[in-house]
Amino acid sequence: MKLTILGCYAATPRTLTNPTSQVLEIKNHMFLIDCGEGTQVQLRRHGIKFSRINHIFISHLHGDHFFGLPGLISTFRLLGREKELNIYGPKGIKEAITLLLKLGDSWTNYPLHFHELTSVDSEVIFEDAKVTVQTIPLDHRVYTNGFLFREKERERTLNIEAVRFYEIDKAYFNIIKKGKDIVTEMGEIIPNKELTFDPPKPTSYAFCSDTAYNPHLVPLIKGVDCLYHEATFLESETDLAKKTKHSTAKQAAKIAKEASVGKLILGHYSTRYASIEVFKEEACQVFDQVELADDGKSFEFN
C-alpha cells in the first residue's frame, strides 16, 4: 500500500501549497481521494498515470476538496479515455458536474458513473475480491465522509514440508489454502494449522477529511495501520476549530491514541502558521507515531 500526498493544505491554493488530494495504491488499484484545484497538475508532476485512476472518492462539496474534479474529467475526455470512471461523493455532486458538462457541450466519451452518498451511517461503497472501501461519517459544516480502505484477508500459505510429509494430493491445495482441515483415507483429521502458515495481516488506511473532534470515529477505525486526520489548527485556536468544525493537532492525536492506530498522518493545515512542524510537536504530546503530510510526500505501509 502506497499513499502519495498531492495536496494537504486548507482553503485556497498557493504558489507552493495545494488543497486536499491524494492517491492510494492498493492491490493494483489506484484510488484518487479528494480532488482540490491543481490535482491534475500534481498527478503529472509526480508521474502518476491518469489511465490507472478508475475510482474517485470525494469527501464533501467544499471547493478545496473537489474543484479540481471537473477539469480532471474533461482532461480524461481529451486524452481519449474509454474506460468507465466511478465517482463516489455526496448527493449533489452529479448535478454540479453534469451542469458544467452540459453548459460547455462537453459530455464525456467514456462511461461516467456517480455513486451519490446520503447515509449518516457507515456503509460499504466499493468491494471486489481484494479490497473494501467504506464510509466514515464525519462532523463538518456540510455532509462529509471519510473513507476506510481495507485489504481483504489473503489465503493461507501452504507449508510445503507438511503437505509432503502427509502425502497430500495437489488437488486439495486450494481448499487447504482457504483454511479447511483435511481428512485422510484412514479417517484422521489433519488440522489446517499444521498444513499452512498465517497470511500477512491485511493492511488498512483511514482517511478522515474535514471534521470536528469526533470520538464516535474510534470504533470504526480501531487498529488501522494508518490514519490520516485533518489538523487545521493548533490548540491555541480551539475556539476557531469548534466554530468552523475542524480539528486541532492534539485532538487528532487523541483520536489516534484512542483508536490504537499504527501511525497518524496529519494534514489540512491552516496556512496561518509559519511552519507545519508545530503540528507534529503538539500531536506528539499525546501520540508518538506521528508523521506530517506535505505536498509530494509518499508513505508506504507493509
Q: In what order do the strands lie in the sheet with 290-292?
A: 124-127, 131-137, 145-151, 204-208, 226-230, 263-267, 290-292
- pLDDT at site 185: 80
pLDDT for residue 302 is more than 80:
no
192-236 pLDDT tens trace: 999 999 988 899 999 999 999 999 999 999 999 999 999 999 999
Task: Locate the domains of the chain by residue range.
Answer: 2-154+200-300, 159-192
Confidence of residue 248 (pLDDT cuts 50, 70, 90): very high
- The pTM for the full model equals 0.92
137-153 pLDDT tens trace: 999 999 999 999 999 99
Structural contact between residues 146 and 115, judged by C-beta atoms closer than 8 angstroms:
no
pLDDT for residue 296 is more than 80:
yes
DSSP letters of 90-146?
ETTHHHHHHHHHHHTT---SS-EEEEEE--SS--EEEE-SSEEEEEEE--SSS--EE
Which residues are part of a known binding site for Zn(2+)? 60, 62, 64-65, 140, 210, 268
73-124 pLDDT tens trace: 999 999 999 999 999 999 999 999 999 999 999 999 999 999 999 999 999 9
- The mean pLDDT value for 18-43 works out to 97
pLDDT > 90 in the chain, percent: 89
- The mean pLDDT value for 2-7 works out to 98
CA gap 150, 121 in Å, rounded: 18
- The mean pLDDT value for 19-24 works out to 98
pLDDT for residue 282 is more than 80:
yes
- CATH says 2-154+200-300 is which class? alpha beta
Q: Where is pLDDT greater, at 58 or 176? A: 58
Confidence of residue 187 (pLDDT cuts 50, 70, 90): confident
- pLDDT at site 155: 86
Give the pairing of strands 298-300 and 196-197: unpaired
Q: Which residues are catalytic?
A: 64
- pLDDT at site 145: 98
Looking from the CA of 301 toward its CB, the CA atoms found within 13 Å total: 29
Mean pLDDT of the chain: 96
Confidence of residue 184 (pLDDT cuts 50, 70, 90): confident
Q: Which helix (H) or strand (E) holds 199?
A: none
- The mean pLDDT value for 26-43 works out to 97
- pLDDT at site 70: 97
